[in-house]
Amino acid sequence: MRKGRAISTFAAAALLSIGLAGQASAQTIKIGVNEPLTGPFAASGTYVVNGAKIAADEINAKGGLLGKKVELVIEDNKSNPTEAAAVAEKLITADKVPVIMGAWGSSLTLAVMPKLLEYKVPMVVETSSSGKITTSGNTYIFRISPPSAVEAAAFKDILPKLHMKKVDFLVINNDWGRGAADDFGKVLKGEGIGVGLVETMDQSAQDMSAQLSKIKGTDSDTIMVTTAVEQLTLLLKQAAALGIKKRIVTTGGSQNPDQLIDQAGTAANGTYHLTTFAPWYPDQTPDPTATKYFLGEWKKRGFNFAGATESFRGYDGIRTIAKGIEKAGKAEPEAITKALWDVDFTGLNGKIKFQKQGPAGKESGQSMPNVYLIQIDNGKVILPKL
């Protein structure tokens, strides 16, 4: 009896979803959001979605877009490439969204990309860092996060002030970490700084003492680290426990300094971090008003401050899309794709304007955000005087 009802509920829900999906969205403008909300990247994906919601609410409070309300269609890609592609398919064909933001991790974004080509729908990439995303000739890709090459190039200007002689790398073993080790390695070598070990750690690894003990024994003065905040917390604690006195510089923009201070305690002191958004000093960000508004909303909704450095990308991603739709004058994929090239505004982390990257004639868009070097000193984030 009960089983029968469960099955009929399922069937009804399935029919409902298919039926509803078919209805055209005349009243609202839909924006697809394809993010990991369960699985290994759930925490970050959720932050980005929360940022996106703030942007959508802000736009709606100001009267919406083209006279219509913005509606985010948020789907969970389960931190899994197969699902990421399926979600893109659903957003485009069932929900009929004219534009997507996604999909956090590089492998997730790469899995979505063929679908964009198939249906000719643009996607604003808010987090992924793999170089392949903008260089594989997909004209529907517009990325606002910096790939490690951009970060490394920005780092070059700061480099002389840090007086490094030799650097070891310890990076997460994925495209992000490996890409960072390559790109930063090139810049360092170009400036005459020695590159020693390049050690990797598994994405799910919790104990890095082996790698750190190895690095402790080298003659380098600096360790460059690329990974997300959870692993970074452990790594700083373990480095402190091993008595490592070398300077630690982290890259990648997913470090979340406040969470580090909170969770790694004194082990975080003295560490340097390259980041693309500096919410601790709203007045020094490119658009102080927007930064203050965003942080105020973030706080009002009861989210922890530490998440702001991850979620601002969702906020900027949706704002970028909104500007694109405004410029296009209609919520249609082709028009938005064209209009995204004309988007030019100041995001929370600098100018958002897409430059062409990739094979000629089939370029993807890449925006070049600012990069800041911050330091944690006595449990506080400071802009170091160098």
Interacting residues with another protein between 7 and 46 (CB under 8 A): 10, 13-14, 16-18, 37-40, 42-46
Query: Whose Cβ is closer to another protein: residue 123's or residue 339's?
Result: 123
Q: In whole angstroms, how close is the CB of 347 to another protein at the nearest point?
A: 24
Site string for another protein, 333-372 (x = CB under 8 A): ----------------------------------------
Q: In whole angstroms, how close is the CB of 195 to another protein at the nearest point?
A: 16
- Candidate segments 23-31, 139-147, 214-222, 348-356, binder of another protein by CB under 8 A: 214-222
Query: Whose Cβ is closer to another protein: residue 63's or residue 379's?
Result: 379
Query: Whose Cβ is closer to another protein: residue 81's or residue 347's?
Result: 81
Give the whole-angstrom CA distance, residue 31 versus residue 112: 16
- Candidate segments 79-87, 156-164, 278-286, 376-384, binder of another protein by CB under 8 A: 79-87
Query: Whose Cβ is closer to another protein: residue 89's or residue 287's?
Result: 89
Site size for another protein (CB under 8 A)? 78
- Which of 263, 271, 275, 276 is close enough to bind another protein by CB under 8 A? 263
- Which of 30, 53, 90, 313 is close enough to bind another protein by CB under 8 A? 90
Interface positions, 266-295, toward another protein (CB under 8 A): 266-267
Per CB under 8 A, 248 contacts another protein: no
